[in-house]
Structures are given as structure tokens and as C-alpha cells.
């Protein structure tokens, strides 16, 4: 009997602690739901923290792996660079030995350079045997025959440019003020008086060789018609022919009429 009394006393407080609090009205349903929500949120937060830790560990491992790969690549690059420098140094040494070997065989390098210079000089001399004219024209005053040798500095012939012709007309100094540059000119050759040519004044002479006094080299000499009276000096006027043909010759005579002012001047 005493044993059976002790059992109920020991089991009664256990049932009181295990009884739910909600049926006994110790807490409200809102408090219970709030507690449950907090517990679930805490569990989710803990799970997220575990996931973040795992992700961070994985990223750290990946970074370590990348670092190791970069270190391995750097080591391989350094080894390749050292190997390249060694190969370059070896190539330079072999080139030096080859040059020394070539130079030792009867001064081969000097002989090759001398031969190349001789070939270049021969090609240059061959090029000098061909004379190319800077313009088309006619050859005059030819003083050499086939097979003869032309000496350096000696004139062989004269080439007349037939593409551009000028007429040098000597006008009196009193007429020069009526002849402006660019004035149109009518030209007639004495060898072909029926042919009319056109020209343009391109320049007037500013000096001629004086008859008396100090002579100046390089000035044109214009002869006077009479010596017993004082005549006006004549100055050359340069006229460019606009429509030349095969009739023109150097030293031929022509008649030039300049239309430079209301009163035409003819020579």
C-alpha cells in the first residue's frame, strides 16, 4: 500500500507540466502564432546563414584554385621566357662564329663588298651612255659621227625645243610704254608671209649692252641702224607664240604687231 501511494504523487506534477497552455487560457492564440512564426523565421534564417557559409566556402575554394592556376601559368611563362632568352643568346653566338668563319676565308667579306661596288659603278656607267632629252625637239649642230667617243664636258649637239617658241622683237625705248605684259600680238614670218600666228607679250627687256662706256657681260646687244645720228635705243620684247608650226626656226625673221594700246606698234 505505501508503494502505491507514492506513485500517484510522483506522476501528478509531470502531467501538470506537460499540459498545453492554450486550453487552460494561460496564453492567447495570437501569442502562440507569433511564437511559431518567430521559430520558423529563426529556422529559415539559420538555414540561409548555413547556405551563405557554404557558398562562401565554395567561392573561397574556387579563388584558391584560380590562384594556384595563375601561379602555375606564371611559372610556365617565366620558364618559357628564360628558354627564349637562352635560344636567342645561342643564335647570336652561332651568328658571330659564322661571321668570323666567313671573314677568315681570304677576307671574303671585303671582297664581296668590293665586287658589289664594282657592279654598281658599271651599271651607273652604262646608264650614263643613254642620254634622255627633257623635251621633244630637233637635233642641230651635230658634230660627232657613229662610233666616235664622246668626251666628258664636250658638246655633241644642240637640241631645239619645237614645242615652245618665242619671238624676240626689238622695240624702240619710246614705244615700250605702250606695250604692257600680256598684250596680244600678231606675228608673220618672212619665210611664210601668208601665215598668221598669234602671240602674247611675256616680258620686256630692262637692259641692253651700251655702245659706249663700260661693257657689261650677259646683256643683249642690239645694233643701231645709223651711226651718224642719235637714235633711240632698242630693247628686246619677249613674245610667246600661241600656235606655232613647223615653219619656225631659230634665227628666222618675223614681223610682230603688238595690240597693247589704242595706237598699235609694229616691228
pLDDT in tens, 138-193: 888 888 888 888 887 888 888 888 888 999 998 888 888 888 989 999 999 999 88
Angle at the Cα of 163 (from 160 to 165), degrees rounded to 5? 75
Share of the chain above pLDDT 90, in %: 22
**Are 144 and 150 spatial neighbours (Cβ–Cβ below 8 Å)?**
yes
Which has the closest alpha carbon to 222: 170, 150, 162? 170
**Are 224 and 163 spatial neighbours (Cβ–Cβ below 8 Å)?**
no
Residues 6+ apart with CB under 8 A from 102: 108, 109
Distance CA 220, CA 85 (A): 77
Count other C-beta atoms under 10 Å from residue 171's C-beta. 22
Q: What's the mean per-residue pLDDT of the chain?
A: 79
Least confident of 125-129, 146-150, 175-179, 221-225: 221-225
pLDDT for the residue 167: 93
Q: What nine digits make up the cell of 3? A: 508503494
3-state helix, strand, coil in the chain (%, to 5): 45, 15, 40
pLDDT for the residue 25: 54
pLDDT for the residue 224: 63
* Backbone dihedral angles phi then psi of residue 71, each to the nearest 5 degrees: -65, -40
| 8-state DSSP, 178 | G
pLDDT for the residue 106: 53
Alpha carbons within 13 angstroms on the beta-carbon side of residue 178 total 15
Q: What nine digits make up the cell of 43? A: 529556422
What topology is assigned to 159-266 in CATH?
A: Elongation Factor Tu (Ef-tu); domain 3 (2.40.30)
| pLDDT tens by residue, 11-63 | 444 444 444 555 555 667 777 788 888 889 898 998 899 999 999 999 999 99
Count other C-beta atoms under 10 Å from residue 199's C-beta. 25
Distance CA 125, CA 188 (A): 47
Distance CA 149, CA 159 (A): 19
Residues 6+ apart with CB under 8 A from 188: 195, 196, 197, 254, 255
Amino acid at each position: 500500500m505505501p508503494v502505491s501511494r507514492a506513485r500517484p504523487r510522483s506522476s501528478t506534477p509531470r502531467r501538470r507540466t506537460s499540459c498545453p497552455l492554450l486550453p487552460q487560457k494561460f496564453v492567447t492564440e495570437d501569442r502562440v502564432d507569433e511564437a511559431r512564426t518567430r521559430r520558423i523565421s529563426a529556422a529559415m534564417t539559420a538555414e540561409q546563414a548555413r547556405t551563405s557559409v557554404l557558398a562562401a566556402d565554395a567561392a573561397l575554394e574556387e579563388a584558391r584554385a584560380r590562384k594556384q592556376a595563375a601561379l602555375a601559368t606564371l611559372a610556365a611563362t617565366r620558364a618559357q621566357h628564360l628558354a627564349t632568352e637562352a635560344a636567342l643568346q645561342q643564335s647570336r653566338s652561332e651568328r658571330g662564329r659564322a661571321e668570323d668563319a666567313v671573314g677568315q676565308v681570304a677576307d671574303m667579306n671585303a671582297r664581296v663588298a668590293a665586287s658589289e661596288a664594282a657592279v654598281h659603278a658599271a651599271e651607273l656607267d652604262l646608264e650614263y651612255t643613254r642620254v634622255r632629252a627633257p623635251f621633244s625637239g630637233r637635233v642641230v649642230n651635230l658634230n660627232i659621227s657613229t662610233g666616235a667617243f664622246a668626251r666628258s664636258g664636250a658638246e655633241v649637239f644642240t637640241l631645239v625645243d619645237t614645242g615652245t617658241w618665242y619671238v624676240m622683237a626689238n622695240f624702240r625705248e619710246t614705244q615700250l610704254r605702250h606695250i604692257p605684259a600680256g598684250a596680244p600680238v600678231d606675228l608673220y614670218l618672212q619665210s611664210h608671209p601668208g601665215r598668221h600666228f598669234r602671240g602674247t607679250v611675256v616680258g620686256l627687256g630692262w637692259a641692253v649692252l651700251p655702245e659706249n662706256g663700260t661693257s657689261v657681260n650677259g646683256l643683249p646687244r642690239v645694233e643701231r641702224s645709223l651711226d651718224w645720228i642719235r637714235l633711240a635705243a632698242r630693247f628686246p620684247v619677249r613674245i610667246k607664240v600661241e600656235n606655232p608650226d613647223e615653219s619656225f626656226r631659230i634665227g628666222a625673221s618675223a614681223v610682230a604687231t603688238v595690240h597693247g594700246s589704242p595706237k598699235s606698234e609694229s616691228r
